[in-house]
Amino acid sequence: MRADLALVGFGNVGRRFARLLDERRDWLALDYDLDCRIAGISTKRHGWIHDPAGVDAATAAGRIEAGEPLSDTDGGDGSFEIIRRLSESAADLKVVVETTVLDINAGQPAIDYVRAALQAGCHAVTANKGPAAFAYEELDALAIDRGVSFLFEGAVMDGVPIFNLVRETLPAVDILGFRGVINSTTNHILSALEDGESFDSALARMQEAGIAEADPSLDVDGWDAAAKTAALANVLMRARTTPQAVEREGIGHGTARLAMAARSHDARIRLVASARRTAAGVVTSVRPVEL
Amino acid sequence: MRADLALVGFGNVGRRFARLLDERRDWLALDYDLDCRIAGISTKRHGWIHDPAGVDAATAAGRIEAGEPLSDTDGGDGSFEIIRRLSESAADLKVVVETTVLDINAGQPAIDYVRAALQAGCHAVTANKGPAAFAYEELDALAIDRGVSFLFEGAVMDGVPIFNLVRETLPAVDILGFRGVINSTTNHILSALEDGESFDSALARMQEAGIAEADPSLDVDGWDAAAKTAALANVLMRARTTPQAVEREGIGHGTARLAMAARSHDARIRLVASARRTAAGVVTSVRPVEL
């Protein structure tokens, strides 16, 4: 069975995905009878490329790393064009793999990419929290209407199944709430603060290690956790919320004192995300909590 | 869609299941278009009953609680007979729900019941660890051959999805090992020992609370954990093991000293079940470990 894919976004996640697809080629053929072909790649700053016979992702990654645009196009965003072309493919399976960076203000342009994919009759898989955090209800309904899948398991808790956990293994369960740590940068910073490291030094280490978001406020002000909380609440509890509606308090220089004080009586400060169903709707929050 | 069920075993689990089925009647009709009917109930000591028009489970439970046999039969085990009759039902869905007690020597007669159900073309759902711990490979192959389901999610970790977690949400993942606490009686006893309670007193409390198995050696000698470990290893790692092949060490009076000693340096003793894939096959164990 032939599957044609369009990669919208081609940063670390998109490139690693393309490599995995290549490494697992034999396994996909054997276990799933799948012959996957990357028909197009689009980027924000490095142009786009499309070839119905298949694009070589390793060559594309090499061009970007060398500072060259992907093709002879003008370097603009060809995402909608490669989605349009994918929809005309004769493949049995057409999948748009969306891996652009989260926009915390409105989840764009990821929502528009996913919407365009679903409208064109392609399955949409996104690693971006935006679509589920800002527009789950609309996109889920659209996918059902077009008979395609809208999937986003990797958007929250990376490789750990959480959306599928509920969807596939707990069909008879009504989720009344959830509570947990869902941002790793702040979690590492809080541990470092307990050990006496300064906030700035701990954050700098997280950035060097590639764990922190490029914009640190997404992590330390709780925006990343709020986007994940909104996505979880929308999907698992049918809330209709957004990251902006999540009650949110981040961590900062002042948290060091709190973390050390908690440590002194055997407790810990963690940035806890939570949601619970109330008579007034689903109430969500992200805030430092002593545990 | 009509579903006819046979309940093989009718203790606490079987009776609670029958009540749930009744409480959720409207919801099953609405969400799943399912009209479930209990066509037969068999017990080890209280006889059996079958009625193609449906058996009233509440009445049956009342008779057993009053010390009366389920019907005018001789009180013998009618499990195979009700499975045979279920297989002749005209229902769209035929399901044998097996909830007998674990036999740690060979997993019988649960394996025979499940085998008979599958061979007769009925789906088999069991809450008993035996079938997966002793005969997973055979029963799984038989179910596939007959085009029916062999399910046992409730056998390990009760309501928490573990078999389905792997099957439904991690299809691309190869499980190399697992490690965890899977017996609650010993876990409660170990906590009590840390608090200075005696082993006998802690065990007696667990038995009164209905948490401990009727035969305490199933818990404290690690047999329950070994059966769960074998089931997990067989299903998740395609091992071909049995509870007897699990390296096993339980807890006893001597564990109190260990638990208190661990506590004194901020550690805990837990009965840890583990499995790992090695070149020589899957190695499994259940033993007290300092964590």
pLDDT of residue B75: 67
Which tens digits make up the pLDDT trace of A1-45? 999 999 999 999 999 999 999 999 999 999 899 999 999 999 998
Q: Does A174 touch chain B (CB under 8 A)?
A: no
What's the confidence (pLDDT) of residue B40? 96
Lookup result for tokens 């799943």: B32
Active site residues of A: 228
Contact status of B169 with chain A (Cβ, < 8 Å): yes
Interchain contact A169–B (C-beta under 8 A)? yes
The more confidently predicted of residues B213 and B126 is B126
What is the CA angle A76-A78-A80, rounded to 5?
140
What's phi and psi for A184, nearest 5 deg?
Answer: -80, -30
Put simply, the answer to whether B164 touches A161 (Cβ < 8 Å) is no
* pLDDT score for B172: 83
Does A102 score more than 80 pLDDT? Answer: yes
Say whether pLDDT at B73 is over 70. no
Strand partners, B187: none
To 10 degrees, the CA torsion angle through A61, A67, A69, A75?
Answer: 130
- Chain A residues with CB under 8 Å of B165 CB are 161, 165, 169
Given CB atoms, is A170 within the 8 Å cutoff of chain B? yes
Res B77 pLDDT > 90: no
Say yes or no for a CB contact (<8 Å) between B169 and A168.
Answer: yes
**Least CA distance to A163: which residue of chain B?**
B169
Between chain A and chain B, the number of residue pairs with CB atoms below 8 A apart is 17
Residues of chain B contacting A170 with CB distance shorter than 8 Å: 161
What is chain A's mean pLDDT, rounded? 94
pLDDT in the model for residue A75: 67
Chain A residues close to B164, C-beta within 8 Å: 168-169
Using a CB-CB cut-off of 8 Å, the residues of chain B touching A168 are 164, 168-169
Instruction: Name the pLDDT band for B158 (thresholds 50, 70, 90).
Output: confident
Cβ pair A162, A155 in contact under 8 A: no
Q: What is the pLDDT of residue B215?
A: 85
- Give CA–CA dist B140/A86, Å, rounded: 40
What is the ipTM, given to two decimal places?
0.74
The whole-angstrom distance between B140's CA and the closest CA on chain A is 19
Distance from C-alpha of B162 to C-alpha of B154, rounded to nearest angstrom: 9
Indicate the pLDDT class of residue B72, thresholds 50, 70 and 90: low
- What are the tens digits of pLDDT across the range A108-118? 999 999 999 99
Is pLDDT at B267 greater than 80 in this prediction? yes
The alpha carbon of residue B161 is apart from the nearest alpha carbon of chain A, in Å, by: 6
d(CA B215, CA B12): 16
pLDDT, residue A151, reads 97
Phi-psi region of B147 (alpha: psi -120 to 50; beta: other; left: phi over 0): left
A266 touches chain B (CB under 8 A): no
Alpha carbon distances (Å) from B152 to A145, B22, B26, B170: 35, 21, 25, 18
For A164, the closest chain B residue by CA position comes to B169
Does position B210 have pLDDT exceeding 90, yes or no? no
- Partner-chain contact B165 A169, CB within 8 Å: yes
Residue of B190, B270, B187, B277 whose CA lies nearest to B232: B277
d(CA B77, CA B8): 10
Q: Which long-range contacts (CB under 8 A, 24 or more apart) does B138-143 make?
A: B139/B111, B139/B114, B139/B115, B142/B115, B142/B118, B143/B118
Residue B81 CA to residue B116 CA, distance in Å, equals 10
Among all residues of chain B, which has the CA nearest to that of A171? B31
Exposure class string for B188-222: b at 16+ Cβ within 10 A, else e? bbbebbbeeeebeebbeebeeeeebbeeeebbbbb
pLDDT in tens, A34-58: 999 999 999 998 999 999 999 999 9
Rounded CA separation B58/B23 (Å): 12
Instruction: Please state the separation of Cα A242 from the chain's center in Å.
Output: 15
- Cα distance from B253 to chain A (closest Cα, Å)? 30
Chain B within 8 Å of A161 (Cβ-Cβ)?
Answer: yes
Residues in chain A: 291
Q: Mark whether B228 is an active-site residue.
A: yes
The candidate with the shortest Cα–Cα distance to B6, out of B134, B147, B101, B120, is B120
State mean pLDDT over A173-195.
94
Query: Taking the C-alpha atoms of B70, B76, B78 and B80 in order, what is their torsion angle to the nearest 10 degrees?
Result: 160
Predicted TM-score (pTM) of the model is: 0.84
CB B262, CB B164: distance < 8 Å: no
> Which of these, A104, A102, A86, A92, lies nearest to A42 by C-alpha position?
A86
Question: How many angstroms separate the CA of residue B164 from the nearest CA in chain A?
Answer: 6
Phi-psi region of B135 (alpha: psi -120 to 50; beta: other; left: phi over 0): alpha
The C-alpha of A45 sits at a distance from chain B's nearest C-alpha, in angstroms, of: 33
Q: Do A165 and B169 touch (CB under 8 A)?
A: yes
Peptide bond before residue B109 is cis, with ω within 30 degrees of 0:
yes
More confident residue, B257 or A123: A123
Give B168's contacts in chain A (Cβ within 8 Å).
Answer: 164, 168-169
Nearest to A232 by CA among A139, A148, A159, A164: A164
In the block, residue with structure tokens 């055979």: B138
* Residue-wise pLDDT tens digits, B177-189: 999 999 999 999 9
Which of these, B157, B177, B193, lies nearest to B288 by C-alpha position? B193
Which residues of B are less than 8 Å from A169 in CB distance? 161, 164-165, 168-169
DSSP annotation string for chain A? -EEEEEEE--SHHHHHHHHHHHHTHHHHHHHH--EEEEEEEE-SSS-EEE-TT---HHHHHHHHHTT--SSSS-S---HHHHHHHHHT---SEEEEEE-PPP-TTT-TTHHHHHHHHHHTT-EEEE--SHHHHHHHHHHHHHHHHHT--EE-GGGSSTTS-SHHHHHHH-TTPPP-EEEE---HHHHHHHHHHHTT--HHHHHHHHHHTT-S-SSHHHHHTSHHHHHHHHHHHHHHH-----GGGSEE----TTHHHHHHHHHHTT--EEEEEEEEEETTEEEEEEEEEE-
Cβ neighbours of residue B23 closer than 8 Å, sequence gap 6 or more: none
Q: What is the pLDDT of residue B88?
A: 95
